[in-house]
């Protein structure tokens, strides 16, 4: 099966949805199911890295896609995440069916493309779709803010791509990489400006501080659909793009590496501190997402692609369920202040199980996937002889542990007798919605536990450098 279908089919669904508005949501659902099934089949039949030529023009002249272990990981999980978001938040999609189908196409395009300008095009489509999706929050000022910052970021990114084309005369990532390796020293100096521009452009979508100033406004009152899309699907695609560019194409060293690492580490520390100081669920979670972005960027920059991808997967999969449940609780209770949601899970244990396991995995409790991911990252950093970064990461892990435990203990707390707590307000929470979210949560929890055990069993022994191979080897070795 040609991976181009992952982009073409949702696009076609979106265009049909424009012409026939009434069946738009049916088309969206079909596109999501098709993409998930197709991604699964592509993964099963995957043998070795391949370049998918478009239009019949050989690379580097035509636009081409790259299917390797890295993009395959992206495609498989991205389409799974998208399908789950649709399953849990389908009722929020009413006006947005066509836009969401386009989003699906754009995110797949971002992960698969092997061409820098094509990457820009897909990022642009994805960003515009995101602006529209965030209008669902009704506070258009925040969306407008996001639009301005996002457009500025895209502009800087495009400027960087133009400069790289001027230097190397090609837009194909692989071709540019080989031309770069053969270029003389002055060229390396000239790379500084385009790389800074690319970094600034990507930093907006990967939410690094200070470029991610738009996030709080857009997400603090986000409905379950908007929230889980931005912190899970979008974050996943954007960070994979970051890894493709700064983890694989351009291997940084010297002053530039130090500068970018400081931005990433500062993001991690400041965002964890902000998350710690917040008292509402969604704000805590959004700052936690920003912090994890900082950590992933840090690992990519320091040439640790596999640990970065593991931390990224652990984060986006957990955040998917955490944000959806928080959004639904906020809808049902009219607030997402942790203290006023006391006992919410006591009333609806089904919602609580997925939430709890996802949170425990993020803290890094052994046997959960988050533990494997963190262990991998720390041992890779120690392996480089680095002591400062692991210390920062461990310290931040403790901070994270404190605020997640605080949230969990509040939500599982039965409350005093006679006290009106969230559990009474939750009485109207529709049982079907509760069951769907609960079951998806259980499935995710199961995946987190099994992936955690499988990857831990082969820790350090597998020579894999991408997630798909790691899982295959781990399963084969059992």
Site residues, another protein (CB under 8 A): 2, 4, 8, 11-12, 14-21, 53-58, 60-63, 95-96, 98-99, 102, 105-106, 109, 117-118, 121-122, 124-125, 128-129, 131-132, 135, 140, 163, 166-167, 169-172, 185-190, 192-193, 196
Cα 14 to the chain's mean position, in Å? 23
Instruction: Provide the minimum distance between the beta carbon of 389 and another protein in the complex, in angstroms, as a whole number.
Output: 27
* Cβ count within 10 A of residue 387: 10
What is the spatial distance between Cα 446 and Cα 444, in angstroms, rounded to a whole number?
A: 5
> Is residue 74 within 8 Å of 240, Cβ to Cβ?
yes
Instruction: Provide the minimum distance between the beta carbon of 251 and another protein in the complex, in angstroms, as a whole number.
Output: 19
Whose Cβ is closer to another protein: residue 18's or residue 446's? 18
Whose Cβ is closer to another protein: residue 129's or residue 311's? 129
Whose Cβ is closer to another protein: residue 95's or residue 303's? 95
What is the spatial distance between Cα 163 and Cα 194, in angstroms, rounded to a whole number?
A: 6
Phi, psi of 36 (to 5 degrees): -65, -45
Whose Cβ is closer to another protein: residue 122's or residue 368's? 122
Q: At what angle do helices 5-19 and 97-112 cross, to 10 degrees?
A: 160
What is the spatial distance between Cα 211 and Cα 234, in angstroms, rounded to a whole number?
A: 16
* Cβ count within 10 A of residue 140: 11
Task: Name residues whose C-beta falls within 8 Å of residue 288's C-beta, 6 or more positions apart in sequence.
Answer: 271, 272, 275, 319, 362, 400, 403
Whose Cβ is closer to another protein: residue 133's or residue 341's? 133
Whose Cβ is closer to another protein: residue 260's or residue 300's? 260
Query: In 3D, which of 186, 398, 199 has the Cα closest to residue 297?
Result: 199
What is the spatial distance between Cα 66 and Cα 360, in angstroms, rounded to a whole number?
A: 35
Instruction: Provide the minimum distance between the beta carbon of 396 and another protein in the complex, in angstroms, as a whole number.
Output: 28
Instruction: Provide the minimum distance between the beta carbon of 21 and another protein in the complex, in angstroms, as a whole number.
Output: 7
Instruction: Provide the minimum distance between the beta carbon of 113 and another protein in the complex, in angstroms, as a whole number.
Output: 9
Instruction: Provide the minimum distance between the beta carbon of 43 and another protein in the complex, in angstroms, as a whole number.
Output: 20
């Amino acid at each position: 099966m040609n991976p181009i279908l992952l982009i073409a089919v949702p696009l076609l669904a979106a265009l049909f949805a424009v012409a026939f508005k009434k069946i738009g949501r049916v088309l969206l659902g079909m596109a999501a199911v098709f993409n998930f099934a197709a991604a699964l089949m592509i993964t099963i039949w995957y043998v070795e890295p391949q370049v998918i030529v478009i239009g019949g023009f050989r690379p580097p002249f035509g636009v081409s896609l790259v299917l390797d272990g890295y993009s395959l990981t992206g495609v498989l999980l991205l389409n799974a995440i998208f399908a789950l978001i649709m399953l849990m938040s389908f009722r929020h999609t009413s006006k947005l069916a066509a836009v969401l189908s386009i989003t699906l196409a754009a995110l797949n395009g971002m992960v698969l493309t092997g061409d820098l300008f094509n990457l820009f095009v897909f990022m642009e489509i994805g960003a515009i779709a995101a602006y529209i999706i965030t209008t669902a929050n009704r506070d258009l000022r925040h969306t407008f803010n996001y639009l301005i910052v996002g457009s500025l970021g895209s502009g800087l990114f495009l400027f960087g791509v133009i400069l790289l084309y001027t230097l190397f005369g090609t837009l194909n990532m692989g071709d540019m990489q080989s031309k770069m390796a053969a270029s003389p020293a002055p060229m390396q100096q000239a790379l500084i400006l385009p790389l800074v521009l690319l970094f600034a452009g990507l930093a907006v979508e990967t939410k690094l501080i200070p470029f991610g100033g738009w996030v709080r406004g857009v997400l603090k009152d986000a409905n379950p659909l908007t929230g889980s899309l931005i912190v899970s699907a979008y974050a996943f695609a954007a960070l994979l793009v970051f890894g493709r560019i700064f983890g694989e194409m351009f291997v940084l060293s010297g002053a530039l590496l130090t500068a970018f690492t400081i931005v990433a580490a500062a993001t991690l520390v400041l965002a964890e501190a902000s998350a710690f100081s917040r008292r509402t669920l969604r704000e805590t979670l959004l700052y936690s997402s920003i912090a994890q972005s900082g950590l992933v960027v840090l690992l990519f920059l320091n040439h640790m692609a596999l640990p970065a991808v593991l931390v990224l997967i652990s984060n986006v999969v957990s955040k998917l369920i955490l944000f959806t449940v928080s959004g639904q609780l906020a809808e049902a209770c009219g607030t997402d202040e942790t203290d006023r949601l006391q006992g919410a899970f006591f009333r609806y244990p089904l919602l609580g199980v997925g939430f709890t396991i996802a949170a425990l995995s993020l803290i890094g409790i052994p046997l959960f996937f988050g533990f494997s991911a963190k262990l991998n990252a720390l041992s890779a950093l120690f392996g480089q002889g680095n002591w400062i970064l692991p210390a920062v990461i461990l310290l931040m892990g403790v901070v994270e542990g404190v605020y997640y435990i605080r949230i969990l203990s509040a939500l599982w707390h039965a409350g005093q007798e006679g006290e009106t707590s969230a559990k009474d307000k939750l009485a109207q929470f529709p049982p079907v919605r509760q069951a769907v979210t609960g079951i998806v949560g259980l499935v995710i929890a199961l995946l987190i536990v099994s992936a955690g055990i499988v990857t831990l069993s082969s820790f350090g022994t597998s020579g894999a450098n991408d997630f798909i191979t790691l899982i295959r080897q781990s399963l084969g070795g059992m």
